[in-house]
Amino acid sequence: MPLRFTALEYLLARLNLLPTPLFDVPLSAGISTALYTACKLGLFDSLRTRGQTVSELADRLQCHPQGLLYLLQLLVSSGYLRQHKGRYYNTRISQRWLVSSSRQNLIPYILHGPDLANIWAHLDEIIHTNQAAMKTPYEESTTTAESRQLLERHYAGLAALASMIGPEILRRVPLPQPATRLLDVGGSHAAYSALFCRAYPGLHATVIDLEAGVEAGTHTVQRLGLEQRIQFMCCDIVSDDFPEHFSEPFDVALYFNIAHLLQPEDNQAVLHKVAHTLRPGGLLILVDQLSDQRQRSRLSTLTTQLMQLSVTIIGGTCHPFSDVRYWLERAGMEQIHKHEMLTPGTCFVTARKRNETKKRSGD
């Protein structure tokens, strides 16, 4: 992504004199593999505090110096490293996004990259059938070590995305005060619940998800020391009547990156249950990629289209805002608003639970 054309290359591409398709395949596959390999080695962590020579890095990472040099040179050319007087340094991009001590560390998502790439092996099937060609990680059997590792990488990758998207939502959506109870629907890794709880000291969260998701979230909560403020309930949000398990209403509900996994009728049914758990005036926040959201750039367009295609392969779909608004209205929500996010291709929707007493008094 940091790769930049020179002025001449840009002009040749605009004039269709540069054979860009010739470069798309090797560059995209090669750079993504190099990035994955560097993260797996811990290369960017090794350069977090100071620059190092090839020999120093080879000793530390237990690599052959010449083989490692090829990787380092590629990462310099693609914008992830810089080289000065024989030493290699992280660029600002790598220091922010690819160092494990960073709050916005995306390494787990990069390490999940090959699993995501496997989805595209089924593209031909979708083109010819428009039917789901593979299962989601949640639907796969977890009886083998390989399947369990896949699910662990999946949840870790989603948690890494939360570190990027979550802070913007916190800044832009103040919670109703005094908010003390938050419901995280399908929240698995609990990263969003953790962000909200750390921002609001009086807030307690309940995460509901399948058993594997609860297990992943438990590890997150234990690592952050939030066991007293975040609890879990194991359930299937589609088939289980989870509202009956809560004696008190919630002030806030999160429905983050769930909608694209479910068909319209399932989303409507689940959101009806979510709304039932909220107090009158309670806030619901939905995050997803919507098929009709305004595209501010080619990157936004590509991100949304790739998301639409990939979720279709696993049996989901990106829904238009008109559908989301209909589901929420039917669930008894009002003040429904869509908000574009800085992250290309992503938006969030806010809604308030209708106050039936107020409505009746106004009739």
247 and 332 part of one domain:
yes
94 and 133 part of one domain:
no
C-alpha angle 247/251/255, rounded to 5°?
A: 100
169 and 303 part of one domain:
yes
189 and 327 part of one domain:
yes
179 and 318 part of one domain:
yes
Q: Does a structural domain hold residue 2?
A: no
- pLDDT value at 200 more than 90: yes
Q: For tokens 């002025």, what's the residue? A: 7
241 and 347 part of one domain:
yes
Q: Does a structural domain hold residue 155?
A: yes
| CATH number of domain containing 88 | 1.10.10.10
| CATH number of domain containing 193 | 3.40.50.150
Report the 10 Å Cβ neighbour count for 17.
9
pLDDT of residue 358: 54
158 and 74 part of one domain:
no
Question: What average pLDDT score do residues 157-175 get?
Answer: 93
The Cα–Cα gap between 97 and 316 comes to: 29
pLDDT tens digits for range 4-17: 778 888 888 888 88
358 and 258 part of one domain:
yes
333 and 247 part of one domain:
yes
Question: What average pLDDT score do residues 137-149 get?
Answer: 78
Concatenating the DSSP letter of every residue in 197-255 gives HHH-TT-EEEEEE-HHHHHHHHHHHHHHT-TTTEEEEE--TTTS-GGGG-SS-EEEEEE
- pLDDT value at 360 more than 60: no
pLDDT of residue 357: 59
Q: How far, rounded to the nearest angstrom, does the alpha carbon of residue 105 sit from its chain's CA centroid?
A: 12
Split at pLDDT 50, 70, 90, the class of 2 is low
Q: Which residue has the higher pLDDT, 32 or 24?
A: 32
Structural domain for 254, as ranges: 129-362
Q: Which residue has the higher pLDDT, 59 or 29?
A: 59
**Backbone CA torsion sign across 318, 305, 75, 103:** negative
Domain total for the chain? Answer: 2
Q: Does a structural domain hold residue 211?
A: yes
pLDDT tens digits for range 296-345: 778 888 888 888 899 999 999 999 999 999 999 999 999 999 999 988 88
Mean pLDDT of the chain: 91
**Backbone CA torsion sign across 297, 303, 306, 312:** negative
- pLDDT value at 143 more than 80: no
Q: Does a structural domain hold residue 1?
A: no
Q: Does a structural domain hold residue 115?
A: no
pLDDT of residue 361: 47
Question: Which of 80, 99, 118 represents a domain boundary (last residue)?
Answer: 99
pLDDT of residue 3: 64
